[in-house]
Structure 1
Amino acid sequence: MVGWALVLEYAVAAGAVSVGWSGYFVGLLKNELGIIIPQALAVGPSAGGIVNVPAFLIALLVTWLLVIGTTESAFVNSILVVIKVTALTIFIFFAYKFIMANPETSKAHFDPIAPLGFGGIGAAAASIFFAYVGFDAVSTAAEETKNPQRNMPIGLIGSLAICTIFYLLVASGVIGTVGAQPMMDAAGKGLAPGSSELTAACSAIGDNAVVCSKEALAWTMRQINQPTVGSLVGLAAGIALPSVILMMMFGQTRIFFVMSRDGLLPEVFSKIHPKFKTPHVITLITGVFVAFFAAFFPVGALADISNAGTLFAFATVAVAVMVLRRKDPDRKRPFRTPYVYLVAPIAIAGCLYLFFKLSAYTLLLFVVWASIGLAIYFLYSRSHSHVGKGI
């Protein structure tokens, strides 16, 4: 079930990032080259379009790269990280420069500090959790890491801390410059991200709000008369985000490959291409689904669906850690979780709280997806599992 839930974390998340990349790409073409892609071909149905062609094409391009075996070197990946961090740092600098020059205006943007109360904060946290999708992939390198007992926790917790600081600075920079500008219905309830109601509300104001923008950071810079900085941020996103899509799709194909090799999925999924030496069958299948998600669904809905799978997987892993600690206390552990009977329950409670803060529609989709996974397990995987056969 964890492997099945991780499909939502990686494949659906890859679709969400593809949609996010599309927004910056379309905005860059419009503002720098004067090329306007028709709305029908730039966004999905819920946003008033027909098909998101740029998102569809970038997903297929990444799929092709994975099939032919193109991989990123550590050097190239480091360059892309530098580009992303530099772009965010530049954004933070100009945002806070504006805030310090306009203290009264910026102060008004933070009042009230939580217009929808603690419940609104919880719902926002459930959606924003998408920013942390993929951090668990660090743990897969434990066997190749020198002194993993020391270096893995430092690497994981350190990267989480640094990214959290950037997230806080970027979010406060956006709110301080242009305001949160939440979209609410007649009853004062926030509109769900990616919903047709949100699209209609944004259209009514000419998409003149940060929550309506498909390129939020670039749009924010343009609102404070920094169009060049906005274009640079958009360019950085256009260059760096495809690497995120690639890594998420790679992670997904690796999960399916291992499940197939262990008998949980048909053996055809673990077939290796004779020339490229890659699992081409499952890569192509994954790519088609990611491209479909990217073409027809909004980023907000995809992010929430991805969060549901990720939160379920994280909670299940926390339970498994406690079970293994009791049933197999002598197992070799490169890293041993300290105070596991305190840390794990807190992790489970946090994951469940955020999980149930997701929209009812998202939870329904997760139940349907989990049901499909259980059906596959009992109808096929259980009888073919190598572990079940003692292989």
Structure 2
Amino acid sequence: MIFGRVKPIDDILATAKKKALPRTLGALQLTLFGVGCVIGTGIFVLTSAGAQKAGPGLMLAFAIAGLICIVAALCYAEIASMLPVAGSAYTYTYSVMGEILAWTVGWALVLEYAVAASAVAVGWSGYFSGTILQETFGVQLPAFLAGGPLVLGGIEGGLINLPAVVIALLVTWLLMIGTSESAKVNAILVAIKVTALTTFIILTLPKSEMANFNPFLPAGVFGGLGSGIGAVGAAATIFFAYVGFDAVSTAAEETKNPQRNVPIGLIGSLLICTIFYILVAAGAVGTIGGQPIMGPNGIPFPAGSEELARQCAMAEHSAKLVCSNEALAHVLREIGFGTIGNMLGYAAFIALPSVILILLFGQTRIFFVMARDGLLPESLSKIHPKWGTPYVVTAITGAVVAFAAAFLPVGQLADIANAGTLYAFMMVAIAVMLLRKRDPNRERSFKTPMLWFVGPATIIGCVFLFLNLPFEAMIVLPAWAAIGMVIYFLYGYSRSHVGKGIVEVHSLDDDAPHRPVDGGPVV
């Protein structure tokens, strides 16, 4: 029975104890790590796409997405403190619901990390083209090299997003040769991003005008299932701004007292980010306005669409928040803080590549673990003799990420990444509830409060946001899952180590894959 192929929890814990990574991270470091993973393209770039979907209701959208992430984080916290091992949602599902569902989660995480990395690369490209080239050096990148055929920001005639391709391939190369991010470097980058956002809030909130918030919900709360508009539609997109908090649970194996510190890191980082996001949205909308550009039927043009690009190319709309592909820097320039706006652009330019690195690292390590479990060809987990990294899967991943970044707009990429993320979060909530029923006496140093409410709320919230993604993004997940199931039954089912009776759980110490220094993300 494929549903009977379960990795026993006792074996997972025994292996983790026998082959443990050094425990060096505390609650503060984990919180900083979580903030560092979360704050990225979502807030620096997707502010424009979110405003086009919801207008000033973007503030409500951030709150909705944050609340759903918080209940999901509580579920993650319980299972991560019970199973402080590498593998995150993939390992959790394997230990509770069996191999085939674990495969679907791992396959969804592959989609999440790879597409999210592409989205961050596109976001970085906007700041490179706007702040670095245009504002600093007075050079404008030709339209056909500045974006794909469909881009956010009004660039028509786009053929390929060359800067996004370059940064994706550069980060891939760094990962292949063994460069990783240390906790100290991550802390510096977190400080840069938090300082930039704090400066933005201080400068914009005093200049905000209440008139800019009216109407607050120009597209309503619910735009309709599959429409991707309204406050809930915007929440489904800017949910991407929170993606990354689950990476904290992947560092559980390197955490001192994970039963206490992992929950603090998860929930603490989410609360900090939610407050920041709402204040940043208020400052952006309150100063230059955030009303969407409406179509002839009174419905906002889809973010990233050709129609919106044509509207944004017109002089009357070009300065609007919804037309900028470097939203926060653009707002500061519009209200007279051009130099500081450029400095914020520099902060995004410096910090966003680290997010790409974290996401690419996570994606390749999910592939790596699945290959070591026999579910994917073992050649994918081949370690380079000199670099000590899984270079084959890293190169493949980097090529796919660069291709997606070359041709798709950031809003579409974020929606696709969210589909995979929401599925993984839902499965974690189910796993926590099943473990409470099946193994109620197992030690739980952290227990999710009111699991009878939090668990179903996580599941309902994830399904709710998924159904409010644009239809094009919704169909990607089942299509991707169908491809995954074909691969599983043609290859993984017959070669699975658990299927052959091998239940040992691998630690990242095995084969010495490239693992982070002083505590980076471990998958």
TM-score class, shorter-chain normalisation, is over 0.9
Q: Match for 1:41 among 137, 145, 159?
A: 145
Tell me the residue number matched to 1:308: 419
Q: Match for 1:164 among 257, 264, 274?
A: 274
Does structure 2 conserve the Cα–Cα contact (< 8 Å) formed by 1:195 and 1:301?
no
Alpha-carbon distance in structure 2 between the residues aligned to 1:334 and 1:45: 51
Tell me the residue number matched to 2:311: 201
Q: CA deviation at 1:56?
A: 0.3
- Is 1:96 matched with 2:200? no
Tell me the residue number matched to 1:298: 409
Does structure 1 conserve the Cα–Cα contact (< 8 Å) formed by 2:218 and 2:291?
no
2:313 alignment partner, SS class: helix
Alpha-carbon distance in structure 1 between the residues aligned to 2:289 and 2:338: 18
Aligned pairs for 1:1-391 within 5 A: 1-28=104-131, 29-47=133-151, 48=156, 49-99=158-208, 106-119=209-222, 120-204=230-314, 205=316, 207-331=318-442, 333=444, 335-391=446-502
Tell me the residue number matched to 2:517: none
Q: CA deviation at 1:128?
A: 0.9
Give the AA of the match of 1:189. I
Q: CA deviation at 1:208?
A: 2.3
Alpha-carbon distance in structure 2 between the residues aligned to 1:332 and 1:231: 51
Alpha-carbon distance in structure 2 between the residues aligned to 1:331 and 1:295: 48
Q: CA deviation at 1:333?
A: 4.6
Q: Give unmatched runs, 5+ long, in structure 1.
A: 100-105
Alpha-carbon distance in structure 2 between the residues aligned to 1:314 and 1:190: 30
Q: CA deviation at 1:206?
A: 5.3
Alpha-carbon distance in structure 2 between the residues aligned to 1:200 and 1:379: 46
Give the AA of the match of 2:164. A
Q: Percent identity?
A: 62
Does structure 2 conserve the Cα–Cα contact (< 8 Å) formed by 1:3 and 1:255?
yes
1:118 alignment partner, SS class: coil
Alpha-carbon distance in structure 2 between the residues aligned to 1:261 and 1:39: 44
Q: CA deviation at 1:340?
A: 2.3
Q: CA deviation at 1:331?
A: 4.3
Structure 1 residues 40-96: Cα deviation after superposition (integer angstroms, max 9, x where no partner): 101111133000000000000000000000011211111111111111111111112
Does structure 2 conserve the Cα–Cα contact (< 8 Å) formed by 1:127 and 1:303?
yes
* TM-score under structure 2 length normalisation: 0.72
Q: CA deviation at 1:112?
A: 1.2
Q: 1:334 to 1:286 in 2, by over 3 A?
A: farther
RMSD: 1.3
When structure 1 is superposed on structure 2, of 8-17 and 336-345 the one drifting more is: 336-345
Q: Give unmatched runs, 5+ long, in structure 2.
A: 1-103, 223-229, 503-523
Structure 1 residues 258-296: Cα deviation after superposition (integer angstroms, max 9, x where no partner): 000001111111000000000000000000001111111
Alpha-carbon distance in structure 2 between the residues aligned to 1:117 and 1:325: 39
Alpha-carbon distance in structure 2 between the residues aligned to 1:356 and 1:316: 16
Give the AA of the match of 2:112. E
* TM-score under structure 1 length normalisation: 0.96
Alpha-carbon distance in structure 1 between the residues aligned to 2:359 and 2:464: 25
Alpha-carbon distance in structure 2 between the residues aligned to 1:215 and 1:76: 24
Alpha-carbon distance in structure 2 between the residues aligned to 1:136 and 1:270: 23
When structure 1 is superposed on structure 2, of 324-333 and 370-379 the one drifting more is: 324-333
Q: CA deviation at 1:330?
A: 4.3
Q: 1:274 to 1:330 in 2, by over 3 A?
A: farther
Give the AA of the match of 2:211. A
Q: CA deviation at 1:320?
A: 1.7
Structure 1 residues 133-181: Cα deviation after superposition (integer angstroms, max 9, x where no partner): 1110101122322222221111111110001111011000000001112
Q: CA deviation at 1:32?
A: 1.2
Could you say which structure has the higher helix fraction?
A: 1
Structure 1 residues 351-381: Cα deviation after superposition (integer angstroms, max 9, x where no partner): 1110100011111222211111121122211
Give the AA of the match of 1:8. L
Q: 1:37 to 1:196 in 2, by over 3 A?
A: same
Query: Once superposed, which parts of structure 1, at least 4 consecutive aligned residues long, lie more than 6 Å away?
Result: none
Residue correspondences, number:
385
